[in-house]
Amino acid sequence: GAGVSQTPSNKVTEKGKYVELRCDPISGHTALYWYRQSLGQGPEFLIYFQGTGAADDSGLPNDRFFAVRPEGSVSTLKIQRTERGDSAVYLCASRISGGSGGYTFGSGTRLTVV
Amino acid sequence: KNEVEQSPQNLTAQEGEFITINCSYSVGISALHWLQQHPGGGIVSLFMLSSGKKKHGRLIATINIQEKHSSLHITASHPRDSAVYICAVRETSGSRLTFGEGTQLTVNP
């Protein structure tokens, strides 16, 4: 596609449920990033993929959060046993690795845990 | 102290005014980005800077590497410029971006 696509755009789930958020990056972008943005704050880093592997997962807040990118394109962010504090906009970005390639952001998934 | 700090947090201007948003950072960087975020969450990249100055239409971005400071200027502001403007840096030690908390700009007609 022409841009970074994130689905769903909105997700409401009950506390304790499992959710999956999907990111479809720009074709050919080998680097993929997940960020989380709480209301009124800037995005915070969660995890970075280079190809299929997680190059940096230091931003994942705890072991309820996990992300995969099995074929080096689409990525899925998985959250187990959701808590109300997980409510935020989850943003995905991709870029061509190396050089001075800029970042392209998706429109985000707004997750609300009730 | 955040690694990336922006000022002001909120800014209200009248249409036509010249606007400046500032960004200071405390880490070594390979690039600094200015981003625009409209209600609904979508983020658009405005500029990527590693030195000097860039201009695109009514937007100008400058960076002073020695002082670890960047500014985003908007000339002849318009209500459609109303958005959150975010400064983000890519540290020399990694690939991820570290974001400021954003500046909410409101331009009144």
CB proximity list for A110: less than 8 A, separation 6 or greater: A9, A10, A11, A88, A89, B41
- What are the φ/ψ torsions at residue B101 (nearest 5 degrees)? -85, -5
Mean pLDDT on B70-97 = 94
Q: Is A42 helix (H, G, I), strand (E, B) or coil?
A: coil
The Cα A28–Cα B25 span in angstroms is 31
**Amino acid letter, residue A48:** Y
pLDDT at B77: 97
pLDDT at A1: 55
CB contact under 8 A, A40 and B94: no
Question: Using 50, 70 and 90 to split pLDDT, how confident is the model at B41?
Answer: low
From first to last of its 114 residues, what are the pLDDT tens digits of chain A? 579 999 999 999 999 999 999 999 999 899 999 999 998 889 999 999 999 999 999 999 999 999 999 999 999 999 999 999 999 999 999 998 765 678 999 999 999 999
CB proximity list for A99: less than 8 A, separation 6 or greater: none
Closest to A97 in 3D by CA, of A46, A25, A44? A25
Q: Which of A31, A35, A37 sits opposite B95 (nearest CB)?
A: A31
pLDDT at A100: 62
Residue in the structure block whose two tokens are 């459609």: B80
The Cα B30–Cα B50 span in angstroms is 6
Which pLDDT tens digit goes with each residue over B11-32?
A: 999 999 999 999 999 999 999 9
CB contact under 8 A, A100 and B31: yes
Q: Chain A closest CA to B5's CA: distance in Å?
A: 10
Q: What is the mean pLDDT of chain A?
A: 93
Q: Which of A56, A97, A103 sits opposite B45 (nearest CB)?
A: A103
CB contact under 8 A, A108 and B4: no
pLDDT at B1: 61
Question: Using 50, 70 and 90 to split pLDDT, how confident is the model at B92?
Answer: confident
Mean pLDDT on B71-75 = 98
